[in-house]
């Protein structure tokens, strides 16, 4: 399992984003198995076996086929979370979206804002995206606050079949700081 050019290393003041390596599997699974984190990703919590299969697909499909950038997030040399910029799976959103999550022990340090800023900057500058999107459950107030802090504007509110509400936020390149 090797890193691919589609996930270039990114750095901010305190974070390093690099392609996953095989030894990250247990940290990846632990992140997604923590209900405080994993419940906000995709369709919510999965089994540990499903998360291990997802980790394997990163190498077999995402990296091998250079589909989109996916990173392990490291802070002070240790695994701290997960990040992506990918085509949105939402039928109502045509574009690329950032996806990120931090381990519980990384909360409260401002790393979420730093991570979302790094991803958004990469989307606008390196990938040339006029718009970078983020979708977030309306109840995920920390993520909503991060996006607003970075100047994302709410562009849509979608009522899901289960009664929850998904908010779409958008960052536009013309408003992104140079």
Coil vs helix vs strand at 105? helix
Q: What are φ and ψ of residue 172, in 5° steps? A: -105, 135
Domain boundaries, the chain: 10-175
- What pLDDT does 4 receive? 39
Beta bridge partners of 52: none
The predicted model scores a pTM of 0.88
Query: Considering only CA atoms, which of 131, 113, 115 is closest in space to residue 176?
Result: 131
- What pLDDT does 122 receive? 95
- Residues written for the chain: 178
Task: Indicate the CATH number for domain 10-175.
Answer: 3.40.630.30
Give the H/E segment covering residue 27: helix 25-33
> CA 133, CA 109: separation in Å to the nearest integer?
24
**Over its length of 178 residues, how does the chain's per-residue pLDDT go in tens digits?**
444 346 889 999 999 999 999 999 999 999 888 877 765 676 666 788 988 888 898 888 888 888 899 999 999 999 999 999 998 867 667 789 999 999 988 888 999 999 999 999 999 999 999 999 999 989 899 999 999 999 999 988 988 888 888 899 999 999 998 6
- What pLDDT does 1 receive? 40
Q: Which tokens sit at 44?
A: 């919510």
> CA 62, CA 158: separation in Å to the nearest integer?
28
CA 9 from centre of chain: 15
Query: Considering only CA atoms, which of 108, 120, 162 is closest in space to residue 137?
Result: 162
- What pLDDT does 154 receive? 94
Q: DSSP of 56-125, one letter per residue? A: HHIIIIIITTT-S-EEEEEETTEEEEEEEEEE---TT--SEEEEEEE-GGGTTSSHHHHHHHHHHHIIII
At a CB cut-off of 8 Å and minimum separation 6, what does 131 contact?
95, 96, 170, 171, 172, 173
């Amino acid at each position: 399992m090797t890193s691919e050019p589609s996930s270039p290393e990114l750095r901010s003041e305190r974070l390093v984003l690099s392609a996953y390596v095989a030894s990250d599997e247990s940290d990846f699974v632990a992140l997604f198995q923590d209900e405080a984190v994993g419940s906000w990703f995709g369709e919510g919590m999965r089994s540990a076996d499903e998360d291990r299969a997802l980790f394997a697909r990163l190498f077999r499909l995402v990296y091998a086929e250079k589909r989109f950038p996916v990173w392990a997030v490291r802070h002070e040399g240790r695994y701290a979370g997960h990040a992506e910029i990918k085509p949105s799976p939402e039928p109502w959103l045509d574009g690329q979206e950032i996806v990120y999550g931090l381990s519980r022990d990384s909360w409260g340090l401002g790393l979420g804002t730093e991570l979302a800023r790094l991803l958004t900057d990469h989307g606008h500058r390196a990938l040339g995206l006029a718009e970078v999107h983020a979708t977030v459950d309306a109840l995920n107030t920390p993520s909503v606050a991060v996006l607003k802090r970075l100047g994302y504007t709410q562009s849509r509110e979608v009522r899901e079949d289960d009664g929850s509400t998904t908010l779409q936020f958008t960052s536009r390149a013309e408003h992104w700081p140079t």
